[in-house]
Structure 1
Amino acid sequence: MNDSGSKGISYTAGFFMAICFTIAGTFLASMLAVSIWPLLTGRGMSSFAEDMLNPAYSGSAKIIQSIMAVVGFLLPAFTTAAMLNRYPARLMGFTPAQGTVKQLGLVIGIMLLGLAVSGSLGYLSHQLPLPASWTNYFTTLETKYNQQVAGIIGLNSFSDYLFSLVVMAFLPALCEEALFRGVFQNFLSRSTRNPWLAIIVVSLIFSVVHLSGFGFLSRLFLGIVLGAIYHYTGRLWLAVLAHFINNAIALTALYYYKTSGKDLTAALNETEGSYWGLLAIPAIVILFILLQKARPEQPKQQSDLLDF
């Protein structure tokens, strides 16, 4: 591979550097949160965990979430890419948003069908005959997570909904895709020359870090879909768009529940569903085949960077 901007550091080293930078970034983000929270709310850190669940502080909580995403994910991703290459954005796949209309349509179709599969996998997770200790632990994790989400997103007005689309839907999509696909999957794929090994491994990491037992299979599937979109297009912005679609639809559904007078925590804790969504898997495979064929030709210098 001829990477014209390479600084001579291997992608294997870059992969582990990214892990170290992410740990450091998460620690730095936590320190910033500790410093900023009292300034935003006038509240001490002794009540931080409780206040994060309080919708009265949802605006401040969104700012903290933004800091965690940018400093914990986006900054480590760009830092690592910049250490490996003089053109970090291009290395990660942040090429100009040119692509084809066909690619865009296929990605949207894949994600819409993927939501049906993800929902069925979530339902399946609740039907698995898990040990009672696992079920109790997963339920506790899910309850705490849903309470936090309900407290942070607020959704008390349409303007709050629009702000949440940026902070809770777009920003996590951008920051997570930059790190998990643009760096972790990208570097692991280049170092092993096995794109699907990289997709599976990074998708497992992606699902684990979300700390959701019942949501593990759904997020694993989402990670694989996003990884495949990145692999077959070479354009990170398409993976960001797909991730944003997933987040935005979930957020819009919650806004609908809230405006209908339904409790957000109750809506998040719902476990109803079916297996019908799994029938969308063959259609998703077909769309991915079409997506692979729809990838436009790249200039030689750029294709070298995207050939993974």
Structure 2
Amino acid sequence: MSSLKGVFKNRKIFSQLLLLLFLSGLFFYIGLAFWMVISAGRREDAQAIRVLQLIQSIGLFLIPPFIFAYLVSDRKPTEYLSLSQKINLKDVMYVILIMFIAIPFVNFLTSLNQQLVLPEVLAPVEEWMKQTEEEAAFLTKQLLQVDNIGGLFANLILIALIPALGEELYFRGALQNVIGRGKGTHFAIWMTGFLFSAFHLQFYGLLPRWLLGVFFGYILVWSGNIWLPVIAHFTNNAIAVIFYYFSGQNNEVVNIDAVGTNDSWWMGVISLILTILLVFRLKSRIPKKQHI
């Protein structure tokens, strides 16, 4: 196995991208075959969907980056993926605060995104987008519907933590790193953010998720520490999981998705201003350790 260490190091960027894609497909389909055997493909079963979610996160995102890093670098995979850096508690608090402060702006941007209408010639594409959005919403609702604290904690691990870790390792740790080698830091961050958003196939949330991906990319570049974008991503996911749970338990809970939209649009504007200020403050306090 040691003879394979760094074997793809000097290959062209396109070859490395194909390798990453191949590894994702390989482990995903291995996991999917396993899921089909144990669940008989019951997509209407919430437990089966949870198992599929776990397999997707592990097969598509968690395993491939480590093998990829082993094959394309002489460094340890943990170093290549920026997992070996220590975490600064103040930076973590800033990241978490930013994710909360940004909620109204994200909602505001989502509402604008949802108003976009494609030209009539692209009507079939728009219909497909709506269909995939509805399917994604249905699956998400199935995953989120739990009625006890045990289910809530299980969802925090399954829907918030594991996807946050896996997707950041894949998109920021591996993909952004490769693209940045040939196209430069900023292009890599924005392109990776777009691919990250497009992957979710929720096109009426494309813009806000794209910007979130860009933010995750920049804090990795600024800090050289993948744990900061992982924590930011986890916070974003966890907020949705927790509020959905408590809204199901208590109808009086504020609909967090509505904050910053319609009559409260001004909260979205204030949120944007505060978020920008906090992001620049975070950047100024992190020692510069450019990752790509």
- TM-score, normalised to structure 1's length? 0.80
RMSD, aligned α-carbons: 2.9
State whether residues 54 and 158 of structure 2, in contact with CA within 8 Å, keep that contact through their aligned partners in structure 1. Answer: yes
1:170 corresponds, among 138, 161, 164, to 161
One-letter amino acid matched to 1:291: L
Could you give the per-residue CA deviations for residues 264-297 of structure 1, whole angstroms, max 9, x where no partner exists?
xxx9998993443143233322222222221247
Q: What secondary structure does 1:73 align onto? A: helix
Give the whole-Å Cα distance in 1 for the aligned partners of 2:209 and 2:50.
Answer: 22
**Alpha carbons of structure 1 residues 11 and 190: separation in structure 2 relative to 1, 3 Å:** farther
* Partner residue, 1:282: 273
* Partner residue, 2:198: 208
Alignment of 1:34 with 2:3, yes or no, is no
Could you give the per-residue CA deviations for residues 112-165 of structure 1, whole angstroms, max 9, x where no partner exists?
223222211111112224346254333222111111111223313210110010
One-letter amino acid matched to 1:286: L
State whether residues 144 and 244 of structure 2, in contact with CA within 8 Å, keep that contact through their aligned partners in structure 1. Answer: no
Could you give the per-residue CA deviations for residues 59-107 of structure 1, whole angstroms, max 9, x where no partner exists?
3322221111111112111111111223111111112433x33312221
State whether residues 98 and 278 of structure 2, in contact with CA within 8 Å, keep that contact through their aligned partners in structure 1. Answer: yes
Aligned residues: 279
TM-aligned CA deviation for residue 16 of structure 1: 4.3
Give the whole-Å Cα distance in 1 for the aligned partners of 2:195 and 2:15.
Answer: 13
One-letter amino acid matched to 2:21: T
One-letter amino acid matched to 1:293: S
* Partner residue, 1:90: 79
* Partner residue, 1:114: 102
Give the whole-Å Cα distance in 2 for the aligned partners of 1:16 and 1:167.
Answer: 32
1:293 corresponds, among 265, 273, 284, to 284
One-letter amino acid matched to 1:35: F
TM-aligned CA deviation for residue 231 of structure 1: 1.4
Alignment of 1:161 with 2:181, yes or no, is no
1:116-155 to structure 2, matched below 5 A, reads 116-131=104-119, 133=123, 134-155=125-146
Give the whole-Å Cα distance in 2 for the aligned partners of 1:270 and 1:19.
Answer: 40
State whether residues 108 and 242 of structure 1, in contact with CA within 8 Å, keep that contact through their aligned partners in structure 2. Answer: yes
State whether residues 73 and 175 of structure 1, in contact with CA within 8 Å, keep that contact through their aligned partners in structure 2. Answer: yes
Q: What secondary structure does 1:215 align onto? A: helix
- TM-score, normalised to structure 2's length? 0.84
* Partner residue, 2:9: 9
Segment drifting more, 152-161 vs 219-228: 152-161
Could you give the per-residue CA deviations for residues 194-231 of structure 1, whole angstroms, max 9, x where no partner exists?
21111111011111111112011121111111111111
> Runs of 5+ in structure 1 lacking a partner?
298-302
1:242 corresponds, among 221, 227, 232, to 232
State whether residues 8 and 16 of structure 2, in contact with CA within 8 Å, keep that contact through their aligned partners in structure 1. Answer: no
State whether residues 143 and 155 of structure 2, in contact with CA within 8 Å, keep that contact through their aligned partners in structure 1. Answer: no
**Alpha carbons of structure 1 residues 88 and 11: separation in structure 2 relative to 1, 3 Å:** farther
Q: State the percentage of identical aligned residues.
A: 24
State whether residues 37 and 60 of structure 1, in contact with CA within 8 Å, keep that contact through their aligned partners in structure 2. Answer: no
State whether residues 113 and 207 of structure 2, in contact with CA within 8 Å, keep that contact through their aligned partners in structure 1. Answer: yes
**Alpha carbons of structure 1 residues 214 and 272: separation in structure 2 relative to 1, 3 Å:** farther
Segment drifting more, 249-258 vs 129-138: 129-138
More RCO (CA 8 Å, sep 6+): 1
* Partner residue, 1:22: 21
Give the whole-Å Cα distance in 1 for the aligned partners of 2:259 and 2:98.
Answer: 24
**Alpha carbons of structure 1 residues 221 and 16: separation in structure 2 relative to 1, 3 Å:** farther
TM-aligned CA deviation for residue 259 of structure 1: 1.7
1:58 corresponds, among 27, 46, 50, to 46
One-letter amino acid matched to 2:9: I
1:173-252 to structure 2, matched below 5 A, reads 173-192=164-183, 194-252=184-242
